[in-house]
Chains A and B, each alone.
Chain A
């Protein structure tokens, strides 16, 4: 991931900032300029909740080079408590134990590592809720 992209997307990747349409309430993540529901152009910035439930997932066993240390791992879509659906890696969980409907929380993790000298990418991942 290029440094410019990390910098551009950090409000979403680091802080889960979304845009909420001030006309119809549609939540855009990442934020948009125009609401796809009502066409309005005004949004307020909100922070997404950090808990949800897994809706679906897939298991990656043959990983791209920057993720080989984590294989096998799962990538899933969770419905957050405000209804927003979000896709992320499911960490800290044996892939055999993942279930649809499993409660998850969002944690801040290293998302990509580019060799020994590339810039480090950080962002959100799901982990099983346990307390």
Chain B
């Protein structure tokens, strides 16, 4: 039996509202709010990046993991499309900051928005095979959208961390399934600062086909129906897509509610469905079944069936809950501050 031993999230406190972005570009804010079904997004200040978010999320995961010695973590995998270095793994800094070095395996993963669930998938496999005792899987991003592009309204920052192991589980990974095809809906070429996307092509043939493929695949594999799950978490590039895919699959709004964060958070890319899972675990009860399906452009989805154990009640409040990070202690910034924070202003060297 393998699964989650500890989990944690971290989200920057700064936010920018859709109206503030729309004002600068002469766009119609109500249309964007309705079309994307989101009101605001998180903004990382200049001293926050994927590495710092990962360390803070992992510290929260360690608090919930109880007596896990960081030196027993045999692998640190970080999934992101905003690793601060092009060459030098984020995981090296994170592993050293946690005290997990030097006897471990470290790698950075990249698969658009599903790099975090890839890390979870691989850690579960290594624990199950007996190669490692614990594996730390992190999904986090400080995602970038080009100024004025539709993406700018949603690209946000945040991270979630999971310590995978085989004893003292909070949630057992009962089934896993992955679905991948070559679908060029979103990409960023080398040396390019901002990603490109295929507009409406990112919807039906990409997000919906792939997410549905993974969800239907794991439902068939497990012999389960949507009604068998208490909760479901889907990748959330905006507020609308996860709600729509849930309905298409036969899930209710109530089932996705705790992990449906994008309307107040934006799209944290590799952190999106993993942070949604942390918020869902925060409210889950022992015995609850959770379906999680990530999505990464390119394109692929990882699906997991989690079964929550009795230990959730012991550990839930050993670290800050995700909803608290999402809704409290917020500072709203104007577009000028946001542009400075996100290095969108060309300065004289």
User: Complex: how many Å from CA A115 to CA B349?
Assistant: 9
Given contacts A94-B331, A113-B46, A120-B49, 12 further A-B contacts (CB under 8 A): A15-B96, A91-B45, A108-B52, A108-B56, A109-B47, A109-B52, A110-B46, A115-B349, A122-B51, A122-B52, A122-B93, A130-B328
A111 CB, min distance to chain B CBs, angstroms: 7
3 nearest A-B residue pairs (beta carbon): A14-B97, A108-B55, A69-B46
Q: Would you call A92 an interface residue if the criterion is a C-beta within 8 Å of the partner chain's C-beta atoms?
A: yes
User: Complex: how many Å from CA A120 to CA B87?
Assistant: 12
Enumerate 13 A-B pairs (CB-CB under 8 Å) in ascending A order. Answer: A10-B96, A15-B97, A69-B341, A70-B46, A70-B47, A89-B47, A92-B331, A107-B52, A107-B56, A109-B47, A109-B52, A120-B51, A131-B328
When C-beta atoms are compared, the residue in chain A nearest to B95 turns out to be A14
Interchain CB contact under 8 A, B329 and A131: yes
When C-beta atoms are compared, the residue in chain B nearest to A6 turns out to be B93
B224 CB, min distance to chain A CBs, angstroms: 36
When C-beta atoms are compared, the residue in chain A nearest to B59 turns out to be A108
Interchain CB contact under 8 A, B99 and A120: no
User: Complex: how many Å from CA A108 to CA B56?
Assistant: 7
Q: What residues of B have a CB within 8 angstroms of the CB of A113 in the complex?
A: 46
Q: What residues of B have a CB within 8 angstroms of the CB of A15 in the complex?
A: 96-97, 99
Q: Would you call A125 an interface residue if the criterion is a C-beta within 8 Å of the partner chain's C-beta atoms?
A: yes
Interchain CB contact under 8 A, A131 and B349: no
Q: Say yes or no: A110-B328 contact (C-beta < 8 A), given A115-B349, A120-B84.
A: no
When C-beta atoms are compared, the residue in chain A nearest to B85 turns out to be A120
When C-beta atoms are compared, the residue in chain B nearest to A108 turns out to be B55
Interchain CB contact under 8 A, B47 and A91: yes
Would you give the 0/1 interface string for B93-124, flagging 1 where the beta carbon is closer than 8 Å to chain A?
Answer: 10011010000000000000000000000000
Q: What residues of B have a CB within 8 angstroms of the CB of A92 in the complex?
A: 13, 45, 331
Would you give the 0/1 interface string for A104-131, flagging 1 where the beta carbon is closer than 8 Å to chain B?
Answer: 0001111101010000101001000011
Interchain CB contact under 8 A, B47 and A111: yes
Q: Would you call B68 an interface residue if the criterion is a C-beta within 8 Å of the partner chain's C-beta atoms?
A: no
Q: Would you call B126 an interface residue if the criterion is a C-beta within 8 Å of the partner chain's C-beta atoms?
A: no
Interchain CB contact under 8 A, B324 and A131: yes
* Contact residues, A78-93 vs B (CB, 8 A): 89, 91-92
Q: Which of A108, A110, A130 contacts B329 (CB 8 A)?
A: A130
User: Complex: how many Å from CA A33 to CA B85?
Assistant: 35
Most chain B beta carbons < 10 A, residue from A70, A94, A122, A130 = A122
* Contact residues, A20-59 vs B (CB, 8 A): none
Q: Say yes or no: A69-B97 contact (C-beta < 8 A), given A109-B47, A131-B328.
A: no
User: Complex: how many Å from CA A113 to CA B341?
Assistant: 13
User: Complex: how many Å from CA A10 to CA B52?
Assistant: 14
When C-beta atoms are compared, the residue in chain B nearest to A65 turns out to be B349
When C-beta atoms are compared, the residue in chain B nearest to A15 turns out to be B99
Q: Would you call B48 an interface residue if the criterion is a C-beta within 8 Å of the partner chain's C-beta atoms?
A: yes
Q: What residues of A have a CB within 8 angstroms of the CB of B340 in the complex?
A: 69
User: Complex: how many Å from CA A94 to CA B343?
Assistant: 20
Q: Which of A110, A115, A130 contacts B47 (CB 8 A)?
A: A110
* Contact residues, B254-279 vs A (CB, 8 A): none
Q: What residues of A have a CB within 8 angstroms of the CB of B97 in the complex?
A: 14-15, 108, 122
Q: Say yes or no: A110-B99 contact (C-beta < 8 A), given A92-B13, A131-B324.
A: no
Q: What residues of B have a CB within 8 angstroms of the CB of A89 in the complex?
A: 47
Q: What residues of A have a CB within 8 angstroms of the CB of B96 in the complex?
A: 10, 14-15
Q: Would you call B245 an interface residue if the criterion is a C-beta within 8 Å of the partner chain's C-beta atoms?
A: no
User: Complex: how many Å from CA A39 to CA B4?
Assistant: 48
Q: What residues of B have a CB within 8 angstroms of the CB of A125 in the complex?
A: 47
Q: What residues of A have a CB within 8 angstroms of the CB of B46 in the complex?
A: 69-70, 110, 113
User: Complex: how many Å from CA A43 to CA B166?
Assistant: 37
Q: Would you call B320 an interface residue if the criterion is a C-beta within 8 Å of the partner chain's C-beta atoms?
A: yes
* Contact residues, B303-341 vs A (CB, 8 A): 320, 324, 328-329, 331, 340-341
